[in-house]
Chains A and B, each alone.
Chain A
Amino acid sequence: MFSSLDRKTVLIAIAVIALGAFAAACAPEVEEDPEDPAEPDEEYDVDATVVMARGTGVETLDIHNTTHVEATNTWSLMGDSLVAFDEDGNLVPLLAEDWEVGPEGLEYTFFLREDVTFHSGHELTAHDVEATFERWLTEEGSPTADDLGEVESIEAVDDYTFQLVLEEPNNAIWNILAARYGSIVNASNIEAEGDSWGTPAADHIDGTGPFELVDWRPDDVMVFERHDDYTWGPPEIYDNTGPAQIARLEYRVIPEDATRVEELLAGTVHLDQMVSRGDLVRIEQSDIINYIEATPASVEFLGFHCQREPFDDVLIRRALAHAINKQEIADVAYEGVSEPATSFLRPGMPGYSAEMAEFNREYDPAKAEELLDEAGWDETEDGVRMKDGEPLEFTLSAFDDEVRLTSAELYQAQAAQVGMDMELDVMESAAMFEHLRAEEHQMFTMGVTIGRRGPDVLRWYHHPDEQPAPNRFYYEDDELVDLLNLQRTTPDEDEQMQAYVEIERILMEDAAWVPVVWRDYIRGFNEQIADPKVDHPVYDGHFKLLDMRMAN
C-alpha cells in the first residue's frame, strides 16, 4: 500500500549504513615506505611509535606550580633532575656528575655534566640550574618551594658548578633534588614563552629529557619525539643510557578503565600505566598482554583524629588496629595485588628497617575485645558496645574510588565483629581533602606515595607544624617531635635510621594510624613491547622509558 515510502525508507537506511561503511572503509591501510624498508631480521623497531594510556590528562606543565603526578611523570620524560635514586635507594648522578657536601651539611656543590643539551639545542649550564632554583623558590604559590627548607643562597659558581646553601641541615634535600619536579628547565625558554610557558598554548616547553614534547592536546593526547642527543641516562638505573629506543611516544588520555584495557587488547595501546584491578581477570585470560606489579613507595592506611572522641582514647585505637584484617583487605579490595603492611615505610625504600615489623598490631579480634572491655565499653545484645548509655559509634571518612570504597566496607564489617558501629562518609577527592583540612573527621582512610619526601614523610605527616594538612592525626608526643626533628637534621646515618625505627614504634604503639596495605600498581604491556620492565619498580623515581623496545 505504501510501497513508494517503503522504497524511500529502505534507500535512506541504505544510505546511512553506506555512510558508516564508507567511514570504515576509509581506514588507512598500512603502507610500506620504500625509503625505509623494514629489516625482517632486526629484532626491534627503533622507528616505532609507542602508545601509552592514562586515565587523566596533564593540567599544567609549569613544574613549579603543580604536584600532580601526571605533570611530574611527563617531566620525567621531558626533563632531568640533578641526581636520581636507583632501585635500591642509592643516590646516583644525573645532570650532576658529582657533588660535595660541606662539613655542616649546609653547602651543596654540584658539578654538572658538560655534554647536556636541551631539546632546542641550548647547552645546559649552571646558569640554567640557578634560574630553575630561582623560579622554584620565588614563584608565588609554589606548592613545593618549602620542600627545600630554608635556603640561604643559590649560585652558579662557574658554567658547570652550582652551589646551594641551606640555613639549617635538611636530610630530606636529596629526595627533593631527585624528585621529578626537580627537573632543570631552560630559563630563556620560560622568558620567551612568558605566561604561556607550561600551558598547552606554549610553542615549546624545553627540557633535557629523552623525549621532546611536540604536540599537546589536553584531555586527548601528548606526542613526544626522541631526543637524539640524549646519552646521560643513569647506567645504575637503565641498561640503555640513551637515546631512547623508540622514535615516538603518544600519551593518550582514556578516562574509562575498561576502554583502556580494550585498547590494550586490540594493540592500539601498548602500555596502560595504571590497570584497574577490576580488569585483572580479563588481562590474565589474555595471552597478548603482560602485566607487571609496579611497587612504588606507596602505603594505604587508616588514620585517627587522636584528639576527638572516641579516638582520644588510645585503647579504642589499639582495639580497632587489632580488629582490622589486613590480609582480607589485600585479597578482596586489592585483588591480591598488594601485600598487608607491617609498617608505614616499606621494604626497599630508604629509612626502612626490618625491626619495624615488630611493632605491627596483628589481626586479633579477641585482643580487640579485651581492649574494649578494658576501656569500659560493654557488650550488648544488639552487638554494639555501650558505655555510660552511649553506643560505640563513629564515622570513617573515605574516598569514593572503587578500591577504597570496598576497603571501607570491609573495615566497617570488621569493626562490627568486635562491637564497633562504624558509619561511612564517602566523598569525592576535592570534598574529602577539604573535609579533612577543616577537621571534620573522626577517622579517615587514604594512601600516600612516599617518593617526594622519602622517609621524611613521617615528619611531614606527624609534626605539629604540619597541621591541619598533611598532619591530620593531631597525635601529640614530645619524644616523637624530637625524633622527627632529629631524623631531619642529624648528620649521623645510624642515628637517623634509629630515629625512623623509634618513630614507627611510637606511632604503632599508640596506634595513631594503622598501615593497612603496601599498595602496588599494575602496568599492562601489549605483547608488542619487548622485554617489558618498569622503570624504578620500588622507589618513586624517574620514568624515562629508556629501556623500552618495540618488537619488530
Chain B
Amino acid sequence: MTAYVIRRLLQIIPVLIVVSMIAYGLIHIAPGNPALHIAGPDASEDVIREIESQLGLDRPVHEQYFSWVSRAVQGDLGVSLRTRVPVTQEIFQYLPNSLALGVGSLVLSVIIGVIMGITAALKQNSLVDNGIMFMAVSGISAPSFVRGVAVMWVFAITLGWFPISGGPPGGDLLSAEGLRHMMLPMVALSIGPLATLGRMGRSSMLEVLGQDYIRTAQAKGLSQRVVLYKHALRNALLPVVTVIGFQVGAMFGGTIVTETIFAWPGVGRRIVGAISARDFPVVQAAVLLLAFVFIVANLLVDIAYVFIDPRIRYD
C-alpha cells in the first residue's frame, strides 16, 4: 500500500509537467497581450515594448516556459503581471476561501446525495423515489449560474435568511458572519454534485439490493439494519466514491461561476480576472493547483477503496 501511494505520488510530477505545458501553450496562443492590459489600449508602441521587455514577454515562448519551470521548482511561481504581487501570495490568500467553499460543498453533497440515493432506492417507484429523482434530474440539468441565482433568490432575496453576496467580513471565515456569507454559495455549489451522487447512489443501491447475497442475508433472518449497513451499503458505496473523486474536480471548477455570482473572494474569481488580463503566471499557478487537487482527490478515492472493500489490495 505504501509503495503504491508513493508510486502514485511520483506520477503526479509528469502529469503536472504536461498540464503546465498545455496551460502555458494555450494561454500564449490565445489572442491578447498582458502588456497591453497593463499599459491600457491606447498606449504607444514604445510603452508596450518597454513593458514586454520588463516582463520578459519579448523572449520566445519556450524560453519563457523553461525560465518559469526553473523558478517554479524552487518554489517561485513568479509575480502577478497585473498586481505585481508574488503569485504564491496572490493564490494562497484566497485558497482558504475556495477550499472552505469546496470542502463544505463536498461534505454537504455527499451527506445529502447519498441519503437521497439510498432513500430513493429503498422506496423504489414510490412518490418519494420519483420526487427525489425529479429533484436530482433538475439539479443536474440546471446550469450552475441558474442554480446560484435560484438559491440567492429564495434564501437571500425572498426569505432574507442569508446575505446576498460578499466574502467573510474582515476576511474571517470562521466567524458566524463568515459562515453566513459562505452558506449560499456552498449550497449552490453542492446542488450539482449532490444530484449526481443521488442518482448514482440510487442505481448502485438498487443493483446491490438485487444481489443473491442480500437475499441470503435476509433469508438468514438478519435484521434489515444489519443487511443494509453491513452488507449492502459498503458495496453500494464503491461506485459512489469513484464519482466523488470526479466531482471534486468538477466542484473546484464550478467555484469559478459560483464565486462570481456570489462575489465570493476565492481562487476562481482570481482565475477569471487573470485570464481576462492574460496574467500568465497567475493562470499557470491556478491551473496547476486545480490539476493537483484533482489528482490528489482521485488518489484519495483509490485509497478509500481499500477501506470500503477489503478485497481490493494495491500490492
Q: Are A146 and B269 in contact (CB under 8 A)?
A: no
**Chain B residues near A195 (CB-CB < 8 A):** 84
Cβ-neighbour of A259 out of B152, B161, B270, B273 (below 8 A): B152
**Chain A residues near B171 (CB-CB < 8 A):** 217, 220
**Chain B residues near A56 (CB-CB < 8 A):** 273
Q: Are A268 and B164 in contact (CB under 8 A)?
A: yes
Cβ-neighbour of B36 out of A28, A218, A434 (below 8 A): A434
Closest chain B CB from A1 CB (angstroms): 6
Q: Are A259 and B165 in contact (CB under 8 A)?
A: yes
What 1/0 mask marks residues of chain B from 253 to 293 whose CB sits below 8 Å from any chain A CB? 00000001111010001101100111000000000000000
**Chain A residues near B200 (CB-CB < 8 A):** none
Please count how many residues in chain A sit with their CB below 8 Å of the partner chain's CB atoms.
65
Q: Are B164 and A67 in contact (CB under 8 A)?
A: no
Q: A1-B224, A20-B187 are in contact. List 8 more A-B contacts (CB 8 A).
A: A4-B224, A27-B176, A67-B40, A146-B47, A253-B263, A255-B269, A262-B152, A263-B164
**Chain A residues near B163 (CB-CB < 8 A):** 268
Q: Are A220 and B265 in contact (CB under 8 A)?
A: yes
Q: Which residue of chain A has the shortest Cβ distance to B176 in the bound complex?
A: A26
Q: Are B118 and A5 in contact (CB under 8 A)?
A: yes
Q: Are B263 and A256 in contact (CB under 8 A)?
A: yes
Closest chain B CB from A22 CB (angstroms): 8
Residues of A participating in the B interface, judged by any CB pair closer than 8 Å = 1-2, 4-6, 9, 12-13, 16, 20, 23-24, 26-28, 56-57, 59-60, 62, 65-68, 140-143, 146, 195, 198-201, 217-221, 252-256, 258-259, 262-263, 266, 268, 427-431, 433-437, 460, 466, 468-470
Q: Are A219 and B278 in contact (CB under 8 A)?
A: no
Q: Are B260 and A256 in contact (CB under 8 A)?
A: yes
- Given A16-B112, A24-B180; A469-B42 close (CB under 8 Å): yes
Instruction: Tell me the bound Cα distance from A23 to B183 in angstroms.
Output: 8
Q: Are B111 and A219 in contact (CB under 8 A)?
A: no
Q: Are B225 and A259 in contact (CB under 8 A)?
A: no
Q: Which residue of chain B has the shortest Cβ distance to A258 in the bound complex?
A: B149
Q: Are B265 and A26 in contact (CB under 8 A)?
A: no
Q: Which residue of chain B has the shortest Cβ distance to A200 in the bound complex?
A: B85
**Chain A residues near B176 (CB-CB < 8 A):** 23, 26-28
Q: Are A68 and B40 in contact (CB under 8 A)?
A: yes
Instruction: Tell me the bound Cα distance from A430 to B112 in angstroms.
Output: 42
Q: Are B164 and A262 in contact (CB under 8 A)?
A: yes
Instruction: Tell me the bound Cα distance from A59 to B34 in angstroms.
Output: 13
Instruction: Tell me the bound Cα distance from A141 to B57 in angstroms.
Output: 13
Instruction: Tell me the bound Cα distance from A549 to B276 in angstroms.
Output: 36
Q: Is B212 an interface residue (CB 8 A)?
A: no
Interface centre among B85, B228, B261 (most CB of A within 10 A): B85
Instruction: Tell me the bound Cα distance from A34 to B89 in angstroms.
Output: 41
Instruction: Tell me the bound Cα distance from A254 to B161 in angstroms.
Output: 20
**Chain B residues near A460 (CB-CB < 8 A):** 42
Q: Are A143 and B164 in contact (CB under 8 A)?
A: no
**Chain A residues near B33 (CB-CB < 8 A):** 430, 434
Instruction: Tell me the bound Cα distance from A248 to B138 in angstroms.
Output: 44
Q: Is B166 an interface residue (CB 8 A)?
A: yes
Please count how many residues in chain B sit with their CB below 8 Å of the partner chain's CB atoms.
65
Q: Which residue of chain B has the shortest Cβ distance to A430 in the bound complex?
A: B32
**Chain B residues near A9 (CB-CB < 8 A):** 115, 118-119
Instruction: Tell me the bound Cα distance from A466 to B42 in angstroms.
Output: 9
Q: Are B261 and A259 in contact (CB under 8 A)?
A: yes
Q: Are A221 and B40 in contact (CB under 8 A)?
A: no
Q: Which residue of chain A has the shortest Cβ distance to B260 in the bound complex?
A: A255
Instruction: Tell me the bound Cα distance from A12 to B84 in angstroms.
Output: 47
Interface residues of B in 37-90 (CB under 8 A from A): 37-45, 47, 50-51, 54, 82-85, 89
Q: Is B108 an interface residue (CB 8 A)?
A: yes
Closest chain A CB from B279 CB (angstroms): 9
Q: Are A141 and B54 in contact (CB under 8 A)?
A: yes
Closest chain B CB from A472 CB (angstroms): 10
Q: Is B3 an interface residue (CB 8 A)?
A: no
- Given A4-B225, A262-B157; A199-B85 close (CB under 8 Å): yes
Instruction: Tell me the bound Cα distance from A466 to B43 in angstroms.
Output: 9
Q: Which residue of chain A has the shortest Cβ distance to B35 in the bound complex?
A: A141
Instruction: Tell me the bound Cα distance from A266 to B157 in angstroms.
Output: 8
Instruction: Tell me the bound Cα distance from A1 to B263 in angstroms.
Output: 46
Q: Which residue of chain B has the shortest Cβ distance to A446 in the bound complex?
A: B41
**Chain B residues near A220 (CB-CB < 8 A):** 166-167, 171, 263, 265
- Given A9-B115, A12-B115, A217-B167; A434-B224 close (CB under 8 Å): no
Interface residues of B in 147-205 (CB under 8 A from A): 149, 152, 156-157, 160-167, 171, 176-177, 179-180, 183, 187
**Chain A residues near B54 (CB-CB < 8 A):** 140-141
Q: Are A427 and B38 in contact (CB under 8 A)?
A: no
Closest chain A CB from B112 CB (angstroms): 7
**Chain A residues near B164 (CB-CB < 8 A):** 259, 262-263, 266, 268
Q: Is B14 an interface residue (CB 8 A)?
A: no
**Chain A residues near B243 (CB-CB < 8 A):** none
Instruction: Tell me the bound Cα distance from A16 to B113 in angstroms.
Output: 12
Q: Are A143 and B43 in contact (CB under 8 A)?
A: yes
Can you list 23 contacts pairing A with B, beta carbon distance less than 8 Å?
Answer: A4-B225, A5-B225, A5-B228, A9-B118, A23-B180, A56-B273, A59-B273, A60-B83, A62-B84, A67-B39, A67-B42, A141-B39, A141-B54, A143-B39, A201-B89, A252-B263, A254-B166, A256-B263, A259-B262, A262-B156, A433-B36, A434-B33, A469-B44
Closest chain A CB from B212 CB (angstroms): 20
Interface residues of B in 111-160 (CB under 8 A from A): 111-112, 115, 118-119, 122, 149, 152, 156-157, 160
Q: Which residue of chain A has the shortest Cβ distance to B52 in the bound complex?
A: A141
Closest chain B CB from A180 CB (angstroms): 14
- Given A141-B51, A146-B44, A252-B166; A201-B36 close (CB under 8 Å): no
- Given A2-B224, A16-B111, A259-B165; A219-B273 close (CB under 8 Å): yes
Q: Are A143 and B40 in contact (CB under 8 A)?
A: yes
Interface centre among A218, A221, A262 (most CB of B within 10 A): A218
Instruction: Tell me the bound Cα distance from A195 to B269 in angstroms.
Output: 25
Closest chain B CB from A32 CB (angstroms): 19
Instruction: Tell me the bound Cα distance from A221 to B187 in angstroms.
Output: 23
Instruction: Tell me the bound Cα distance from A150 to B77 in angstroms.
Output: 39
Interface residues of B in 1-38 (CB under 8 A from A): 30-33, 36-38
Instruction: Tell me the bound Cα distance from A142 to B39 in angstroms.
Output: 7
Q: Are A431 and B32 in contact (CB under 8 A)?
A: yes
Q: Which residue of chain A has the shortest Cβ distance to B170 in the bound complex?
A: A215
Instruction: Tell me the bound Cα distance from A176 to B218 in angstroms.
Output: 86
Closest chain A CB from B123 CB (angstroms): 9
Q: Are A255 and B263 in contact (CB under 8 A)?
A: yes
Interface centre among A20, A258, A460 (most CB of B within 10 A): A20
Top 8 A-B pairs, shortest CB-CB distance: A430-B32, A26-B176, A67-B40, A220-B265, A470-B42, A431-B31, A143-B39, A433-B41
